[in-house]
Amino acid sequence: MKTIFFTGKGGVGKSTLSAATAWQLAERGENTLAVSFDPAHNLGDIFGVKLSDSKKKFKDKLYLMEIDLEKRSEKYIKDNIGLLESIYSYLKPFNMDRYFQTLKYSPGIEEYASLTAMEQLIREETRFDFIVFDTPPTGLTIRILALPSVTLAWIERLKRIRREILEKRYTIHKIRGKYSEEGTKLAYNEDDDMVMKKLKEVEERFFRLKSFLQSDDNSIVVVFNPDFLSLRESQRLIGGLNELGMPFRIAIDNKICRENLQRAESIERELLSDSKATLLRVKENSSYVSEKTYIIEENLSDLFAQ
Amino acid sequence: MKKILNTLKEILRVIGIAHRGKITEITAYEERELENIFILLLLGSFSGIPSPPAFIAVELFPYLQHELHILEQRAQAADDALSELAGLFDID
């Protein structure tokens, strides 16, 4: 299974191009799933169908899906609050349990929900040959893609402290041993300690996701337009991706016409001066989308399918 | 005779607990402080220090009752930290 991420500034044509790619891949006989992560979904509009949070068959070998982030964050919070409430149930008489609801508004939960959704798709939908992701605009995409690295760094630190705690507990247990009741109640073994177990579990999940995102099975496509705003933002995006160790392999210069061809060339030169990415130009108005027809002149699927 | 032996055993046991308690005192103190630091890091955003992504804390919370208890105790004794150290090292 391979994944393709379409990234770039808002309005450059990520959704259209990702839809076109998914369509062309399906036409070639590849089993394809197109997923939209952009909160302002228009994957459904492009294909003229109504989509939801679960995948829907559009035609043979082409499935579509729009991730409902709000619903997913709520579900995540609900699951975890449920667990918290059952453990701290003695707080019920004081109505303290409702304070856990505050967690719903803590920052980062939405990014986490996106990442979890992404991870789940990559883990579960292996029967597809391609998963094409349409991402939200630059800033959010970088934050979501950076989350595994940031999380792994934190977990590493927390694990180190936890290990030290467990070592000390073990020492105390060894000396006090059966002479003390309190010392034996606390877990001192890494395998018995629930906190350590949970940390390792989260670490494992994120490590797998990070290695997948950095692997050759994942292609990141940067879409841009021949204008300077788009150039600057793409440069920032490319810088961010390089820092994360997820170099982009394909650049698409979208909306080119005779009038802006010269500018397009100079922008492409500046953007791709020190990268080995493949460049593809897509002409203005080359895609035509309606309920019945879906045409795009340029061959996008060649970039991904061998 | 058996009664005396049992009493003697009990006395030895108590002495054992006291001694073992004494020699692990400093390690236990360190361990408590580490747990305090651990939970403080997770709850960092409440006290203004940089904290890990909130969801790590959310995932771990259900298992951190013990640490939360320590945190609370430490907070209560916060204005008396020096005397606890003095007690630990037998300084009068």
Q: Are A21 and A300 in contact (CB under 8 A)?
A: yes
pLDDT at A288 over 60: no
Contacts with A160 from chain B: Cβ below 8 Å = none
Look up the CATH number of the domain holding residue A51: 3.40.50.300
CA separation, residue A208 to residues A120, A201, A204, A212, B46 (Å): 11, 11, 6, 6, 31
Q: CB A175 to CB B55 under 8 A? A: no
* Predicted pLDDT of residue A138: 81
Contacts with B35 from chain A: Cβ below 8 Å = 165
Q: At what angle do helices A138-176 and A228-243 cross, to 10 degrees?
A: 20
Q: Are A69 and A36 in contact (CB under 8 A)?
A: no
Lowest-pLDDT range of A29-33, A198-202, A258-262 = A258-262
DSSP count for chain B of H helices, then E strands: 6, 0
For residues A104 and A121, give the distance between their C-alpha atoms in angstroms, rounded to a whole number.
23
pLDDT at A292 over 50: no
* Predicted pLDDT of residue A178: 62
The minimum CA-CA distance between B88 and chain A, rounded to whole Å, is: 16
Q: CB B24 to CB A172 under 8 A? A: yes
Q: Who wins on pLDDT, A105 or A243?
A: A243
Burial class of residue A66 (count of CB atoms within 10 Å of its CB; 0-12, 13-18, 19+): buried
Q: Domain range spanning residue A203?
A: 2-303
A42-64, pLDDT tens digit by residue?
Answer: 888 888 888 888 899 998 899 99
Q: Are A193 and B58 in contact (CB under 8 A)?
A: no
* Predicted pLDDT of residue A71: 85
This prediction's pTM: 0.77
Of A80, A107, A176, Cβ closest to residue B24: A176
Contacts with A165 from chain B: Cβ below 8 Å = 31, 34-35, 38
Contacts with B38 from chain A: Cβ below 8 Å = 158, 161-162, 165
Q: Count structural domains, chain A.
A: 1
What's the mean pLDDT when you consider all of chain A?
83
* Predicted pLDDT of residue A273: 83
Token readout for B51 is 């904290």
A141-192, pLDDT tens digit by residue?
Answer: 888 888 888 889 889 989 999 999 999 888 888 887 765 555 446 788 888 8
For residues A287 and A143, give the distance between their C-alpha atoms in angstroms, rounded to a whole number.
30
Instruction: Report residue A89's pLDDT band, with 50, 70 and 90 as the boundaries.
Output: low
* Predicted pLDDT of residue A100: 62
pLDDT at A27 over 90: no
Q: Are A280 and A298 in contact (CB under 8 A)?
A: yes
B1-52, pLDDT tens digit by residue?
Answer: 889 999 998 888 888 888 887 788 888 888 888 888 888 888 776 666 777 7
Nearest to A21 by CA among A213, A280, A284: A280
For residues A133 and A3, give the distance between their C-alpha atoms in angstroms, rounded to a whole number.
7
- Pick from A46-55, A100-109, A287-296, B23-32 the range whose average pLDDT is largest: A46-55
pLDDT at B64 over 80: yes
Our CA angle for A150, A153, A159, nearest 5°, is 135
Say which residue the tokens 């979501």 belong to: A144
